[in-house]
Amino acid sequence: MSKSPENFDWDKVTSKGLGSGYTAAERAAMEALIEGTLTEVAEKEVVKGTVVGISERDVIVNIGFKSDGLVPLSEFRDNPTLKVGDVIDVFVENQEDPNGQLILSRKKAKILTAWDNIQKALDQDLVIEAFVKRRTKGGLIVDIFSIEAFLPGSQIDVKPIRDFDIYVGKKMEVKVVKINYANDNVVVSHKVLIEKDLENQRQVILTNLEKGQVLEGVVKNITNFGVFIDLGGVDGLLHITDISWGRVTHPEEVLKLDDKVTVVVLDFDEDKKRISLGMKQLTPHPWDSLPADVQVGSKVRGKIVNVADYGAFLELMPGVEGLIHVSEMSWSQHLRNPQEFVKIGDEIDAVVLTLDRDERKMSLGIKQLTEDPWTNPALLTKYAPGTQHKGIVRNLTNFGLFVELEEGIDGLVHVSDLSWTKKIKHPSEFTKVGEEIDVIVLEIDADSRRLALGHKQLEENPWDTFETVFYVGSTHRGTVISKNDKGATIELPYGIEGIAALKNLAKEDGSVAEVGESLDFKVAEFHKDEKRIVVSHSKVYTDAAEAATEKAAPKKKAKETKEEDKPETLGDNEALAALKEQLNSGKK
């Protein structure tokens, strides 16, 4: 209801005020007309508006308010084709600024709308489209509704992703899985979409799975113990022992990630959903193609693939191995470390000792490639009793040491045959493994493969001379070198040792001789065959006391002394000189 200026009723305008001359009905009609052209707008809300003008700095938008609003032109950089008449979403920042202007924001409208859409996608489990903007640590940054979201690497695919860069700049479907409004953080997943499809495939595979079934798969993961194969939604384990008939140290020697392989189902646990796969079972066993001319006694060639404490394994062909026990590596009777003879990778010859094609077992030997030294006719001459040789100490025992004179020829030196003068309790007091030692052959028994050797026999028996030096009643300077409950050991001249009872260590002042103390000792007993000398310190001063009491009978005493004290002869002096020279030579 509008009136033209010509028809305007000025009589209704009185001094009481503008418009006071209208009736109530007329006023209500006019208010309704005005309200129909205006829209109520609340601040901090997103509303739709129409572009009515574009200036150099602002875009003028009509949202149906009493005045048009302004939006900075910079907020439309992503929309270079903006034109008058376009309908857009804007955010009401201020209904009226100090200048009376309505202030709007397209940027904030987009953000609020985006978060609403994201929350809706999460609540309704919607599939949305994302644009991969860039790679970041642990995953990808994607754009959804103009908001950056994080796509973890573990949520890109069901299989491990090694190259994230191939996704940058591409679009992919995702689902929102987590929202953190405090940090403005959104996490999305592409994997959940794949898993839903794979679950159906998995059920089909598991339903139709059976032992002996041949399937195709892709290498998904490689470990030390085997390979996980993706069978199209369900994983199976290909154990390292089922990859090849040959020995495989690590699966990476045969397979690599993303390889397509053909496998056979070996076992299936329906409850635990575990699938055991095999690859070597698809090919014939190598033992079935082992040449018929390989028999016991045959000479074969192969490569050492493993070395253990007890021997080494020789691979004749992939999947066919034989054990070379350490006892079959050398004619020596004393086992040594197999690594002294072979190492992994060596290509060597061997002789077949045993062969069981049904059990697929074979034992080999390498010492059989050389002659058994004990069967050599010249052995008895070369190692005849009395011949002297040099050898290497190979083993020490409580009763002696074993000396290797040559490869396969060992002999025993008994602990009693190491020294004429020293009482050696264990061979380790005299020598050690690996040292070279001079020996003399005492006895040989080729049939029993035994050699008795000696070391002390390289020198003359000094006890023949000691008999004239340490005769009963002779006095010598000695040192107490050890004591126990039974007695003491005394070191006498020329490196010989004697024994003394504890009571015979008593000194004239009543004290007892201690270890390290040097005193005079008198020989009480001399046993040549037993190589034992019994001495006494107390006898030195007790005999001197007895001699003093007999001083009253000088003639008788002189006669007894003449009988008891055996005078030294020229022969004795020569024997001592020879013994001393011999002992000095032995020490050198």
Q: What are phi and psi of 128, to 5 degrees?
A: -125, 165
Does the pLDDT of residue 2 top 50, yes or no?
no
- In this prediction, residue 278 has a pLDDT band, given cuts at 50, 70 and 90, of very high
Which residue's structure tokens are 């006023």? 27
Which residue's structure tokens are 């005493």? 557
Torsion-angle region of 487 (φ positive above 0: left; ψ -120 to 50: alpha; else: beta)? left
pLDDT value, residue 38: 52
- In this prediction, residue 195 has a pLDDT band, given cuts at 50, 70 and 90, of confident
pLDDT value, residue 112: 82
- In this prediction, residue 496 has a pLDDT band, given cuts at 50, 70 and 90, of confident
**Residues sharing a CB contact under 8 Å with residue 150, sequence separation 6 or more, in sequence order:** 136, 139, 140, 141, 142, 185, 186, 187, 188
Does the pLDDT of residue 321 top 60, yes or no?
yes
The three-state secondary structure class of 519 is strand
Q: What share of the chain in percent tops pLDDT 90? A: 31
Mean pLDDT along residues 241-252: 88
pLDDT value, residue 556: 52
Instruction: Tell which CATH architecture fits domain 373-458.
Output: Beta Barrel (2.40)
How wide is the angle at C-alpha 530 spanned by C-alphas 580 and 462, nearest 5°? 15
Burial of 396 (0-12, 13-18, 19+ CB in 10 A): middle
Q: 192: which 2 tokens? A: 């959940």
| CA distance linking residue 416 with residue 55, whole number of Å | 119
Pick the CATH number of 46-111 from 3.40.50.150, 2.40.30.260, 2.40.50.140, 3.30.530.20: 2.40.50.140
How wide is the angle at C-alpha 440 spanned by C-alphas 435 and 445, nearest 5°? 110
DSSP designation for 256: -
Mean pLDDT along residues 176-200: 84
Parse the chain into domains and list their residue ranges: 5-35, 46-111, 125-194, 209-282, 286-369, 373-458, 463-583
Average per-residue pLDDT for the chain: 82
Q: 83: which 2 tokens? A: 């034109």
Contact call for residues 45 and 89 (beta carbons, < 8 A): no
Instruction: Tell which CATH architecture fits domain 125-194.
Output: Beta Barrel (2.40)
DSSP designation for 576: H
Of 341, 342, 363, which Cα lies nearest the Cα of 294? 363
- In this prediction, residue 574 has a pLDDT band, given cuts at 50, 70 and 90, of low
CATH number of 463-583: 2.40.50.140
pLDDT value, residue 40: 58
Q: 126: which 2 tokens? A: 């919607």
The three-state secondary structure class of 558 is helix
| CA distance linking residue 416 with residue 420, whole number of Å | 8
Taking only Cα atoms into account, the Rg of the chain, rounded to an integer number of angstroms, comes to: 55
Which helix (H) or strand (E) element contains residue 114? Answer: helix 106-123
| CA distance linking residue 119 with residue 179, whole number of Å | 8
pLDDT value, residue 4: 47
Condensed to tens digits (0 to 9), the pLDDT of residues 532-567 reads 899 999 998 888 888 777 765 555 555 555 545 554
Question: 286-369, what's its fold?
Answer: OB fold (Dihydrolipoamide Acetyltransferase, E2P) (2.40.50)
The amino acid present at 426, given as its one-letter code, is: H
Is 209-282 the same fold as 125-194? yes
Q: 479: which 2 tokens? A: 């040192």
CA 372 to chain CA mean position, Å: 42
Does the pLDDT of residue 172 top 80, yes or no?
yes
Q: 320: which 2 tokens? A: 């066919």
Q: What are phi and psi of 365, to 5 degrees?
A: -145, 150
pLDDT value, residue 414: 93
Contact call for residues 238 and 229 (beta carbons, < 8 A): yes
Mean pLDDT along residues 244-264: 89
The amino acid present at 216, given as its one-letter code, is: E
Of 494 and 581, the one with more pLDDT: 494
| CA distance linking residue 5 with residue 26, whole number of Å | 17
| CA distance linking residue 470 with residue 492, whole number of Å | 10
Q: 518: which 2 tokens? A: 């040097």
| CA distance linking residue 440 with residue 384, whole number of Å | 9
pLDDT value, residue 576: 57
Does the pLDDT of residue 520 top 90, yes or no?
yes
Which residue's structure tokens are 């959940």? 192
Does the pLDDT of residue 353 top 90, yes or no?
yes
| Residues in a beta bridge with 521 | 476
Of 299 and 558, the one with more pLDDT: 299
Condensed to tens digits (0 to 9), the pLDDT of residues 75-126 reads 787 778 888 888 887 888 766 667 767 778 777 887 888 888 888 988 898 8
Mean pLDDT along residues 521-542: 89
Q: What share of the chain in percent tops pLDDT 70? A: 85
| CA distance linking residue 453 with residue 413, whole number of Å | 5
Mean pLDDT along residues 152-177: 86
Q: Specify the pairing of strand 69-72 against strand 102-105.
A: parallel
| CA distance linking residue 395 with residue 431, whole number of Å | 10
Cβ count within 10 A of residue 83: 8
Q: What are phi and psi of 167, to 5 degrees?
A: -95, -15
Q: What are phi and psi of 392, to 5 degrees?
A: -110, 130
Q: 164: which 2 tokens? A: 């994230």
Of 301 and 3, the one with more pLDDT: 301
Where is average pLDDT lowest: 20-34, 170-184, 459-473, 494-508?
Answer: 20-34
Cβ count within 10 A of residue 482: 11
Pick the CATH number of 209-282 from 2.40.50.140, 3.40.50.720, 3.40.50.300, 1.10.3720.10: 2.40.50.140
Of 318, 296, 299, 321, which Cα lies nearest the Cα of 308? 321
Longest distance between any two alpha carbons in the chain, whole Å: 191
| CA distance linking residue 282 with residue 280, whole number of Å | 5
Contact call for residues 502 and 487 (beta carbons, < 8 A): yes
Q: 270: which 2 tokens? A: 């329906």
Mean pLDDT along residues 498-513: 91
The helix/strand count (H/E) of the chain reads as 8, 30
DSSP string, 209-249: --TT-EEEEEEEEE-SSEEEEE-SSSEEEEEGGGT-SS--S
pLDDT value, residue 358: 87
Of 398 and 564, the one with more pLDDT: 398
Condensed to tens digits (0 to 9), the pLDDT of residues 5-41 reads 455 554 554 444 555 566 777 667 666 655 555 555 6
**Residues sharing a CB contact under 8 Å with residue 343, sequence separation 6 or more, in sequence order:** 304, 307
